[in-house]
Amino acid sequence: MAIGERIRFFRNLRGMTQKYLGMQVGFPEKTADIRMAQYESGSRTPKADLTNSLAEVFGVSTSALTVPDIDSYNGLMHTLFTLEDLYGFRIDKLDDELCIRLDKGMGTNYLKLFDFIEAIGAGVYKVSVINANGDIAPLYIGESVFVLVRCATHLFEFKKNPAYFGFNEKSIVNPKITLKFELYRQIDEQQKRKQCEKELIKEILKTQQIICQNGISDRMKGIDEKIKALENFLSQNK
C-alpha cells in the first residue's frame, strides 16, 4: 500500500484536514494543503524526516506508514513469499477456506511469533484511574483486534499530552494516582467484541460516569470536559 494512502487513512482517522496536518509538520499555511494532497496522491514521496514527523502527529509508529507494497496482486504475493521465507507464514486450507498459519518447523521463530500474536490478540479493554484511597473510576472502555497495540497508542497520546486522559499539571505529578490498563475479555469476533464493549459501557454507566468517554460510543470527550470530570472524581474522594 502506498504511503500516501496510509497518510490519508490516519489523517481521516484523526479528523484532520490536509491544511491542518501540513501545518503541524511544518509547511506554510498557504501551501500546507497542497503539499499534503501531493503526498496523499503519490505524486510526492515523503523523506524519512517528514515520515517521522507525520507518525508523531498521528501518534503511531513510522512502521504503520511505511507498510509493504500490497496495492497490486503481484506486490501482495511477493510480500507473502517474504513472510513465508523469513517467518514461516504458510497459506493453507481449513474447512475449505484459505487461511494463513504459522509453520511449527520454524522453531524459535514460531514460538516467538505465537507468543507475540497471543499478546496482541483481540478483545475488550478498560482504562481506569485509581486515587490514593484505592477508589477506581473508569476512564475509557474500548475494543480492538490488537489490544496491546491500541493500549500502547493510548499511552503514547497520554505521554504527549496528559490531558488526553483528563490529567492536569497537578494530577500528573501526583505519585498517589495510578493509571490502570486491563483486558476485560478476549474476543476474536468483531461483532461480539463490539457488543461486549457496549454492554460493559452500559453496565458501568448505571452506577458511575466514564470520565473520558461520550455515552456508549467509543468517542472521547473534549479536553476541558475530561479534565473537569477527572478533577471532580479526585476531589470527591480525598
**What is the C-alpha to C-alpha distance for residues 30 and 22, in angstroms, rounded to an integer?**
10
Note the pLDDT tens digit of each residue in 133-183. Answer: 889 999 999 998 888 878 888 888 888 889 999 999 999 999 999 999 998
Same domain, 114 and 133: no
Same domain, 158 and 206: yes
Q: What is the CATH number of the domain that holds 38?
A: 1.10.260.40
CB crowding 101-123: b at 16 or more within 10 Å, else e: ebeeebeeeeeebeeeeeebbbb
**What is the C-alpha to C-alpha distance for residues 39 and 77, in angstroms, rounded to an integer?**
26
Same domain, 43 and 142: no
**What is the C-alpha to C-alpha distance for residues 52 and 38, in angstroms, rounded to an integer?**
17
Same domain, 39 and 110: no
**What is the C-alpha to C-alpha distance for residues 149 and 117, in angstroms, rounded to an integer?**
11
Same domain, 77 and 140: no
Question: In the listed set 43, 64, 85, which residue is the last one of a domain according to the structure?
Answer: 64
Note the pLDDT tens digit of each residue in 166-177. Answer: 999 999 999 999
Question: Pairing state of beta strands 123-130 and 178-186?
Answer: antiparallel
Same domain, 184 and 228: yes
Mean pLDDT across the chain: 86
Note the pLDDT tens digit of each residue in 1-55. Answer: 578 888 998 888 888 999 999 999 999 999 999 999 999 998 898 999 999 999 8
Same domain, 229 and 137: yes
Same domain, 138 and 197: yes
Give the DSSP H or E segment for 109.
helix 108-119
Specify the number of domains making up the chain.
3
Q: Identify the domain containing residue 104 by its residue range.
A: 73-119
Map residue 179 onto helix, strand or coil: strand
